[in-house]
């Protein structure tokens, strides 16, 4: 398998990031160590005949030694892990060692085309049930991964996941499929749309189709982005407030942002949002650059009654960058066109796109930019 492009390769984490990582990772141990020192070396009036306090002091000393030993080993281990052996670089996007990438090879002839379906935040691949049926009927191969951290009974991963974990999962899937297929298209909803756009920056895709992508080019989000980028503040806030309740539509018992009552209860979704995951989305948003996206066609699907993302701002942002695209508006749809009232229409549009039955470049783009070569804006 070919190595990633050189511009994606780095040597090690910056000194500041390493320092933040050490401090925030070992912070609980520092707190315990300080508390034990205060307790053990504070003169507390005590009955000389009391064996309880003597036992407490012995136990405290043992715990102090254990915590000190662990703190030293943790600091040593983190330093070694974040400073790999000489000659082994790292891939920034996936936070992996360059020479430790998965390998795959297929002895069968490559098939022409496959589609990757990426679900949204706290959701699962089950939201693509309508599209999956249409893809099967049209004999289009597809793969819908469960994005790491979601659809699980245990939620431990939600407290330790980073955005690089999502990117690594998708790039490994892409590289595996690229050994079996000539071309790869990506369809993403919400967080999946954000990941789809970012994936197209580091891997070329045929058709890029995003529905209500979690991309917020709004200046009002600067504070949240700052908090998300600060290692200390992000860890502190996520520790203090691990989950946030999701907005619910009036009269609904679930947090699914859809208009169709059946869809509100039919599709699984966590009723709360892990704050650590929200910060990961913010970090990923700052890395998205449509100008670097590599696609043959680009389509944006959005519902006009969406309460989760501001699709109008996203569309205006894309237009301001002069990115060729097709917009598909759904008036009886909220956040997810694939499961709401107009899900059948959304699925048909996707099939038309994948079969190449829609005009490209769109007339609206050609009329606005008659002198622009659309091939300069996209990468085949």
Q: What is the token pair recorded at 256?
A: 């699914």
In this structure, the number of other CB atoms found within 10 A of the CB of residue 349 comes to 20
Torsion of CA 160, 164, 167, 169, to 10 degrees: -50
Report the DSSP pairing between strands 90-91 and 9-10: antiparallel
- Kindly give the residue spans of alpha helices, DSSP state H, lying in 41-128: 51-81
pLDDT bucket at 158, cuts 50 / 70 / 90: confident
More confident residue, 270 or 379: 270
Return the H-helix or E-strand segment holding 141. strand 141-143
Sign of the alpha-carbon dihedral angle for 328, 334, 340, 342? negative
Question: Measured over all CA atoms, what is the biggest interatomic distance in the chain, rounded to whole angstroms?
Answer: 95
Whether the full predicted model's pTM is greater than 0.85, yes or no, is no
Q: What is the DSSP letter of 152?
A: -
More confident residue, 151 or 125: 125
Return the H-helix or E-strand segment holding 261. helix 261-266
Q: What is the token pair recorded at 117?
A: 């379906």
At residue 315, the 3 state secondary structure works out as helix
Average pLDDT over residues 87-112: 78
Q: Which of 192, 217, 187, 203 is nearest to 328 (CA)?
A: 187
In this predicted structure, the answer to whether residue 114 has a pLDDT above a threshold of 90 is: yes
The pLDDT value recorded for residue 26 is 59
Write the pLDDT tens digit of every residue in 272-325: 888 888 888 888 888 899 889 999 999 999 999 988 888 888 898 899 989 999
Average pLDDT over residues 217-240: 61
pLDDT bucket at 46, cuts 50 / 70 / 90: low
Write the pLDDT tens digit of every residue in 2-31: 444 433 444 444 555 555 555 555 566 666
Q: What whole-number distance in Å separates Cα of residue 82 and Cα of residue 72? A: 16
The answer to whether 148 touches 218, Cβ cutoff 8 Å, is no
More confident residue, 270 or 7: 270
Q: Which of 178, 239, 192, 185 is nearest to 24 (CA)?
A: 239
231-240 and 15-40 helices cross at what angle (nearest 10)? 50
Q: What whole-number distance in Å separates Cα of residue 155 and Cα of residue 141? A: 31
The pLDDT value recorded for residue 221 is 47
CA distances from 51 to 59, 65, 237, 249 (A): 12, 21, 42, 61
Q: What whole-number distance in Å separates Cα of residue 284 and Cα of residue 215? A: 9
Q: What share of the chain is helix, strand, coil (3-state, %, to 5)?
A: 50, 15, 40
- Angle at Cα 32 formed by Cα 29 and Cα 33, nearest 5°? 85
Write the pLDDT tens digit of every residue in 167-220: 999 999 999 999 999 999 999 999 999 999 999 999 999 999 999 999 874 444
Average pLDDT over residues 37-46: 60
Owner of token pair 């994005």: 147
- Report the half-sphere exposure of 355 (CA within 13 A, side-chain side): 13
Return the H-helix or E-strand segment holding 167. helix 163-178
Q: What whole-number distance in Å separates Cα of residue 1 and Cα of residue 363? A: 39
pLDDT bucket at 52, cuts 50 / 70 / 90: low
Q: Which of 87, 85, 88, 86 is nearest to 100 (CA)?
A: 88
Query: Would residue 87 be called left, alpha or beta, if left means φ above 0 and alpha means ψ between -120 and 50 degrees?
Result: left
């Amino acid at each position: 398998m070919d190595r990633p492009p050189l511009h994606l390769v780095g040597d090690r984490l910056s000194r500041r990031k390493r320092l933040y990582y050490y401090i925030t990772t070992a912070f609980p141990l520092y707190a315990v160590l300080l508390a034990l020192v205060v307790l053990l070396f504070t003169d507390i009036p005590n009955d000389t005949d009391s064996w309880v306090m003597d036992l407490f002091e012995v136990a405290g000393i043992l715990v102090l030694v254990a915590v000190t030993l662990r703190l030293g080993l943790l600091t040593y281990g983190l330093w070694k892990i974040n400073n790999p052996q000489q000659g082994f670089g790292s891939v920034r996007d996936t936070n992996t060692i360059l020479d430790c990438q998965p390998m795959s090879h297929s002895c069968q002839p490559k098939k022409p085309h496959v589609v990757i379906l990426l679900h949204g935040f706290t959701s699962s691949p089950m939201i693509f049930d309508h599209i999956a049926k249409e893809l099967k009927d049209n004999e289009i191969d597809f793969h819908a991964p469960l994005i790491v951290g979601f659809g699980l009974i245990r939620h431990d991963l939600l407290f330790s996941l980073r955005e690089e974990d999502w990117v690594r999962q998708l790039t490994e899937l892409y590289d595996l499929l690229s050994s079996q297929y000539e071309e790869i298209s990506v369809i993403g909803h919400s967080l999946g749309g954000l990941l789809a756009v970012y994936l197209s920056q580091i891997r070329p895709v045929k058709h890029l189709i995003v529905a209500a992508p979690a991309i917020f080019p709004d200046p009002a989000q600067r504070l949240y982005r700052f908090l998300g980028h600060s290692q200390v503040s992000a860890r502190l806030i996520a520790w203090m407030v691990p989950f946030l309740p999701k907005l619910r539509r009036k009269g609904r018992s679930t947090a699914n942002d859809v208009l169709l009552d059946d869809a509100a209860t039919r599709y699984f979704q966590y009723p709360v949002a892990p704050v650590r995951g929200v910060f990961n989305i913010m970090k990923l948003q700052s890395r998205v650059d449509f100008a670097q996206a590599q696609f043959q066609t680009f389509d944006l699907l959005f519902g006009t009654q969406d309460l989760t993302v501001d699709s109008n701002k996203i569309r205006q942002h894309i237009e301001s960058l002069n990115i060729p695209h097709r917009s598909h508006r759904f008036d009886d749809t909220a956040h997810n066109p694939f499961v709401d009232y107009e899900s059948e229409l959304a699925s048909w549009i996707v099939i038309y796109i994948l079969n190449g039955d829609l005009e490209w470049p769109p007339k609206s783009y050609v009329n606005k930019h008659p002198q622009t070569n659309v091939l300069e804006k996209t990468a085949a």
